[in-house]
Chain A
Amino acid sequence: EDKVVQSPLSLVVHEGDTVTLNCSYEVTNFRSLLWYKQEKKAPTFLFMLTSSGIEKKSGRLSSILDKKELFSILNITATQTGDSAVYLCAAPLYNTNAGKSTFGDGTTLTVKP
């Protein structure tokens, strides 16, 4: 059975701290892993990672995938209160289940002033 597991489930930090969120996966015919940030409503796309191992960066956020150990990390440096959100990772399935993704349960990040 395909599985995506995120850790920790919740995290409380202070502004300026650096955080690392984890996402491990076991997915048949793995192609990509997606990271999303969800505040009140719509999950917003952060990164797409593949087995290429190429790190993705956007401002204070970065992410990389380890294809050997089957996990990805999302780093946020110099955290701000606006980073408070649920961070979701998802692995889109392939073949007959095209369109379907296995989601992790999310990491709830709270950044205190």
Chain B
Amino acid sequence: DTEVTQTPKHLVMGMTNKKSLKCEQHMGHRAMYWYKQKAKKPPELMFVYSYEKLSINESVPSRFSPECPNSSLLNLHLHALQPEDSALYLCASSQAGTGLHRHGYTFGSGTRLTVV
């Protein structure tokens, strides 16, 4: 299995809602990532988990809360979002550490989030 699976594919939520984005991979990758991508811009890193521990948080607002329950799963919990948070949220995985330099990231298809 060489895929990263993200659910849901589309999500519309109100500013007072709580929702979660899910990401799953079974490639044995021990690094997992959340990226945010706005239209016509490159992916922007939000969080990195390495061996199930949060290793990088790119000063993301607390209304985004990541969780890595095990080595195959990554969640992003959303609460009290703003309309400007509307974007494509991409999950990615890779081999940890220097492995990233040999094989790169595998991206999921993303969740298109609209905050109304």
Interface residues of A (CB under 8 A from B): 31-32, 34, 36, 41-45, 48, 50, 88, 90, 92, 94, 97-101, 103-106, 108
Contact = CB atoms under 8 A, between A and B. Distances in A.
A4 to B, nearest CB: 9
Contacts of A31: 98, 101
A42 B90 contact: yes
B106 interface: yes
B56 A48 contact: no
B105 interface: yes
Contacts of A36: 104, 107
Interface residues of B, number: 29
B37 to A, nearest CB: 9
B101 A105 contact: no
Interface string B85-116: 00010100010111011111111111000000
Nearest to B6: A42
A42 B31 CA distance: 18
A108 B106 CA distance: 21
B88 A41 contact: yes
A34 B101 CA distance: 8
Contact of A104 (B42, B90, B97, B109): B42
A99 B102 contact: no
A101 B45 contact: yes
Contacts of A108: 40
Nearest first, the 8 A-B pairs at minimum CB distance are A103-B42, A99-B48, A32-B101, A31-B101, A42-B107, A41-B109, A34-B104, A42-B109
B97 to A, nearest CB: 6
A31 B106 CA distance: 18
Contacts of B100: 92, 98-99
Contacts of A94: 98, 101
Contacts of B40: 108
